[in-house]
Structures are given as C-alpha cells and as structure tokens.
Amino acid sequence: MDHLALARRYRPRRFADVVGQRHVADTLRSAVARGRVGHAYLFCGPRGTGKTTLARVLAMALNCPQRTAEGEPCGVCDSCERIWAGRASLDVVEIDAASNRGVDDARELRERAQYAPSDEGRHKVYIVDEAHMLTREAWNALLKILEEPPPRVHFVFATTEPQRIQQSAPPILSRCQRFDFRRIAERELVTRLQEILSAEGVAAEEEALRLLARRADGGLRDALSALDQVLAFAVPPITVDAVRSALGWVDEEWYCALLEAIADRDAVATLRLLGRAQDEGMDWVEFYRGWLEALRSLLARRLGEDAPPARADLEARWRALTDRFAVGDLLRLLHQSVALDVDGQLRRSAQPRVLLEILFVGAAFLDRTVELADVLAALGGPPPPASPDPRPAETPAAVDPTDAPLGAAPAEAAPRPVASSTPRRPAVSAVPDWWADALAEAGLGDAPWTRHLRVRHDGPRVVVELPPGWPLRPELAATASARRALERALRARLGAEVRLEVETTTTQPRPADVDPRAQRRRQLAARAQQEPLLARAVEEWELEPTEE
C-alpha cells in the first residue's frame, strides 16, 4: 500500500483549515465571496507556511460549483479534489519556476493565458512556485499580461525571497497584491500535530511535540515531515528520546556539560566533549544549531523570561548554570557563536570541528563581566549616589607635626568652600606642610612606601620610623639620589641643615597608624589578580579604596 506523506494527506481543503495565516485566509475568502478577487497575487514568506496551499484553496474556491456564500469551497467535489491533489487540470496550472525560469517559458505561459477557461463560470489560475527564480527577461515577458490580464485569469506567485524580485523586476510589485506569510507560532503547531496524531490514533508526549514544533522554526510542513520520520522509527507513544534518536538531534545534556566546563574555565574539558561528539558521529552543524538554542534558553532563564522546559533530571543543573553566568557573558557568547556561521562559514568548512573547538576554548577563557556594585564593594566603599549634592570642602584637623604619618596630603589653614560635582574622598590623615611639600618637590609624594611610615623633626634630624618586620623597604634608604633630593627639599622648607635618617622602632604600630585604605588596597589587588576585567577597570578608572 502506497504511503501518502502527512503533509499531503492533511493539506487544508478550506480557508478555515489553514493554520497560522488568518490574515491571508480571511482576506482571500472575503474577496471570493464579494467577487473582488485580484488578477495577480504575490505570496511571500518562509518555507512550509502555506503559500502554495492557500493558492490551491483559492483556485478551489474560484472553481467550486458548491461554494458557500462565505466564499469557502466544498473541498469534496470533483473539481476541488483534482485541484487539491495537484492533478492535471485545464484551468489550474502549477509551474515550478526553478526549472521553468527562462523567457521562452514565460512566453509560453503568456500564450496559454490568452485562452478562455474551459467552462463558463470557471477561472484560470496559474500558480508559479519559487517565483524569485524567474529571470529578468522572463519577468519582462509577463509585464503586459499582468497589467492587462484576460477576463477570469489569475496569477499567484509564491516566493521565499521577495527581495530578489524587487531587485530583478521592480515593476512586478506594483501589479500584484502582496501577502506576507508569517512563521506559525509554536502553540499552533503543537495543536495541529495533536489533531493529526489523534486522527492517526497515535499517542505522544506533549513535550515531544513541542520539541518538533520548536525545531520546525514556524514551518508546518517541516514539522509534519519530521513527525512522519519519527512515526516510521518509533513505536507509540512518541517520546522526547524517540524524537531525538529518530532525527539525530543532540541531547541537551551535552550542552549542559559544555556550559559547565566553560563556567569552570576548563578548556581541556571542552575539547574532550567535542572529541566524544566526534566519536559518536554527531553532525557538527546540528550540534552548532543546538548550541545556539541552549544559549538562548539559558539567557531567557537568566532574564527571568519563559524558556523551553528542560529535562526533569537536568533542571537543577540548568538552574545552577543560570546563577554562574552574567547576562553580559551570555550575550557575548551568543554574539561570538552566531558570528561563526553568519555567512555559512561553518556549513562550508572542511574542518567544522576545528571552528567549534576555537569557539568553545575561547569561551572558556572569556573574561567575565564584573558588576559595578561588585567593584565598589571590592574597593570597600558604598555605591556612589545617583545624583550627589555638591558640598563645600572640609578643613582637615591639624595634628602635631612631630608625630604624623608619612605621605598624606598637606592640610590647608582655611580652605574656601568649593562646590564639587562629585563627592570628595576624605584624607587618611593630616601632616605638616613642610613634610608634604618636601615630598612633592622631591617627586616622592605618591610613592607607595609612604603609606604606613611615620616622621618626626628632631633638631638637626628628620627621622622616618620603620616598624619591626614591616614588609616595605623604603626607597629613600635604598636610593641615594632620592634621599639627597628629599634632604635638599627639607633644608629649603625648614631653613636649616638637616639630615634624613631611617630608624626601626621597637614597638609595633598602633591601630591608628595602620591605614585602612592600604589594607583594602591590598585586598583589591588580590581580587584584581583573580578578575582581569576588574584589574582593567581599576587601571582605566584610577579607582582607589575609600574609608569605611
């Protein structure tokens, strides 16, 4: 017994049966009912969305002797049956423009269209599929008849690439009524698949049908062709595993493991996974397609939107992955992944595995997105206000010049209030003017070794105290030129001969002597070593820790 494909067996016979194209079906039905059918139509849209089907239903409605007052064909009369099945008919002709694309074919079509329909009251309908394949000369041969067609002659051009018609024959567009067919929604595809399986007496898991609908990408014919293949492979009921096995689709556990390896920065694990995929004979283009779907699903989860449900045993792993990837990281991964095949590079490559290895190993080493709040937390300060109010600068309290920390900014005696657009950081402490000025003149004002030392003026000596076991070695004790420069600056400031000495104290520094900013600075440096992006942010923005 000959098998008839599901896509043909369940092809719609009435306008009301067409799935997902109500805007087109209702318009054509109304045009038939009111006698306002155009002489030329251009049906545009993705494959498998019903362009040729609606063209046939239109031809059936125009020639059906039992047509309803609403413009619906009966679908069962001899005329409807012949047109629906695509059998030879004098009045309804289907032409494949991919193989009949030349000017001679167009001239023959034009000559045939001049003859009247076979019977009074009937209409001649020419359905030209893949119309974008017609040459410029063929379109030019049809221009006149499309502008002034004979009575009761209609043309329907179906195409998946209307832009090519726009480029090769722009005048055609003004001679046709254009209808844009949209991709059919997933829920409508699932409903239609359930209706067909119910008619076939076959049970199926709803998730299996959702998987078929999702992979059909809005095309009902693609979904029915895939379902036909699954029915030939599996024993009912139809399960998700049966669908994946029958169609050779990659199980989502592969992508889950791959994303976990990328989150762990384990490039070796990504290579091993691809090696296993190679051993199992997976199709790399199909693997890549599933990878894009997995990334998109994970991004939807991360944003809190509805995502395709995962396998029950993998749900916990997907939730964990959602917490491990920032939105920015997923967007960059998606961008890099899409760019891999933006011009068909992967599909044409002789080494698709190598391209995927480059993609996934690069993803494992991808810099992670760092939130600004995390940067501010690492700096030890609260996030800045959205709109800080300007305030006058505060006058720092004076301290005893004989016991002051080394390297802080000098205190002004009476600073004027200055309005600032950003909040000022409070100073660590105040120091004598003569010491800060001398450091600045000697070019040592920002030296890192000045953070935790103390200085005092003792007669002819200026003594820098170094606590015992302090990890920092003062540069002024190791570099003679720096020491001499600082002594000259001190003599100029103090008006007397002084010499610079470095002593090691016998007591540990008091808690007040330890700069909390320096502690946080070391913490920030340690964090920056682990997060390269944070290190670049600190360097680019010249970030400094603030006081608690």
Which residue type sits at 40?
A: A
Question: What is the domain range of residue 469?
Answer: 370-383+400-409+430-548
Which parts of 303-404 fold into alpha helices (H)?
A: 315-324, 327-339, 345-348, 352-364, 372-379
Residue 131 included in any domain = yes
**Same structural domain, 227 and 99:** no
- Please state the φ and ψ torsions of residue 204, each to the nearest 5 degrees: -155, 145
Q: What pLDDT band is residue 515 in, cutting at 50, 70 and 90?
A: low
Q: Which residue has the tokens 């000022």?
A: 424
Find out whether 188 and 216 touch, Cβ atoms under 8 Å: no
**CATH number assigned to the domain comprising residue 229:** 1.10.8.60
Listed range (158-162, 352-356, 387-391, 424-428) with the worst mean pLDDT: 424-428
For residues 156-173, average pLDDT:
93
Residue 293 included in any domain = yes
Predicted pLDDT of residue 120: 77
**Same structural domain, 162 and 52:** yes
Predicted pLDDT of residue 487: 82
Nearest to 48 by CA among 191, 183, 187, 230: 183
Which residues on adjacent β-strands are paired with residue 405?
454
- Report d(CA 97, CA 92) in Å as an integer: 16
Name the helix (H) or strand (E) containing 458.
Answer: strand 454-458
Predicted pLDDT of residue 410: 44
Find out whether 191 and 209 touch, Cβ atoms under 8 Å: no
Listed range (21-30, 44-53, 180-189, 518-527) with the worst mean pLDDT: 518-527
Percent over 90 (pLDDT), the chain: 47
Whether the CA torsion 250, 255, 258, 262 is positive or negative: it is positive
Radius of gyration of the chain (CA): 39
Predicted pLDDT of residue 398: 47
Residue 416 included in any domain = no
Predicted pLDDT of residue 100: 87
For residues 137-155, average pLDDT:
92
- Start-to-end C-alpha separation, the chain: 84
Instruction: Kindly report the length of the chain.
Output: 548
Residue 390 included in any domain = no
Listed range (6-20, 128-142, 513-527) with the worst mean pLDDT: 513-527
Predicted pLDDT of residue 374: 60
Predicted pLDDT of residue 427: 34
Structurally, how many domains does the chain consist of? 4
**Same structural domain, 496 and 530:** yes
Q: What pLDDT band is residue 1 in, cutting at 50, 70 and 90?
A: low
Predicted pLDDT of residue 30: 96
Residue 73 included in any domain = yes
* Beta strands 40-44; 177-180: pairing state: parallel
Domain end point (choices 205, 226, 247)? 247
Predicted pLDDT of residue 368: 73
Predicted pLDDT of residue 230: 93
Angle at 59 between CA 54 and CA 62, to 5 degrees: 125
For residues 175-198, average pLDDT:
94
Structure-model confidence comparison of residues 21 and 389, the more confident one: 21
Listed range (168-172, 500-504, 508-512) with the worst mean pLDDT: 508-512
- Report d(CA 265, CA 256) in Å as an integer: 14
Structure-model confidence comparison of residues 505 and 224, the more confident one: 224
Strands of the 92-96 sheet, one edge to the other: 92-96, 124-129, 153-159, 40-44, 177-180
**CATH number assigned to the domain comprising residue 151:** 3.40.50.300
Q: What pLDDT band is residue 177 in, cutting at 50, 70 and 90?
A: very high
Which residues on adjacent β-strands are paired with residue 176?
none
CA distances 86 to 9, 44, 51, Å, are: 12, 21, 14
Average pLDDT, the chain: 81
Find out whether 297 and 325 touch, Cβ atoms under 8 Å: no
Domain end point (choices 206, 222, 247)? 247
Domain end point (choices 180, 207, 222)? 180
Which residues on adjacent β-strands are paired with residue 501?
463
Q: What pLDDT band is residue 314 in, cutting at 50, 70 and 90?
A: confident
For residues 276-305, average pLDDT:
91
Predicted pLDDT of residue 422: 39
C-alpha dihedral over 509, 511, 512, 515, to 10 degrees?
90
- Please state the φ and ψ torsions of residue 318, each to the nearest 5 degrees: -65, -40
**Same structural domain, 327 and 297:** yes
Whether the CA torsion 522, 524, 525, 529 is positive or negative: it is positive
**Same structural domain, 45 and 149:** yes
For residues 258-272, average pLDDT:
94
Residue 204 included in any domain = yes
Which parts of 217-266 fold into alpha helices (H)?
A: 220-233, 240-247, 252-263
- Report d(CA 162, CA 275) in Å as an integer: 42
Please tell me whether the peptide bond between 117 and the residue prior to it is cis, using omega within 30 degrees of 0: no
Predicted pLDDT of residue 397: 47
**Same structural domain, 291 and 331:** yes
Predicted pLDDT of residue 204: 93
Structure-model confidence comparison of residues 272 and 486, the more confident one: 272
Predicted pLDDT of residue 478: 47
**Same structural domain, 175 and 203:** no
Of 56-65, 311-320, 336-345, 401-410, which one has max mean pLDDT? 56-65
Instruction: Encode pLDDT of 108-125 as tens digits.
Output: 999 989 888 888 778 999
Predicted pLDDT of residue 453: 62
- Report d(CA 67, CA 109) in Å as an integer: 28
- Report d(CA 395, CA 529) in Å as an integer: 37
Predicted pLDDT of residue 407: 42
Q: What pLDDT band is residue 382 in, cutting at 50, 70 and 90?
A: low
**Same structural domain, 215 and 232:** yes
Predicted pLDDT of residue 451: 47
Predicted pLDDT of residue 378: 59
How much is the pTM?
0.64
Residue 391 included in any domain = no
Instruction: Encode pLDDT of 396-444 as tens digits.
Output: 444 444 444 444 444 444 444 444 443 333 333 344 667 777 777 777 6
**Same structural domain, 85 and 22:** yes
**What is the full DSSP assignment across 501-530?**
EEEE-SSPPPGGGS-HHHHHHHHHHHHHHH
**Same structural domain, 350 and 377:** no
**Same structural domain, 93 and 219:** no
Residue 60 included in any domain = yes
Nearest to 207 by CA among 246, 247, 238: 238
**Same structural domain, 238 and 261:** no
Nearest to 288 by CA among 236, 231, 345: 345
Q: What pLDDT band is residue 446 in, cutting at 50, 70 and 90?
A: low
Tokens of 183: 């991709």
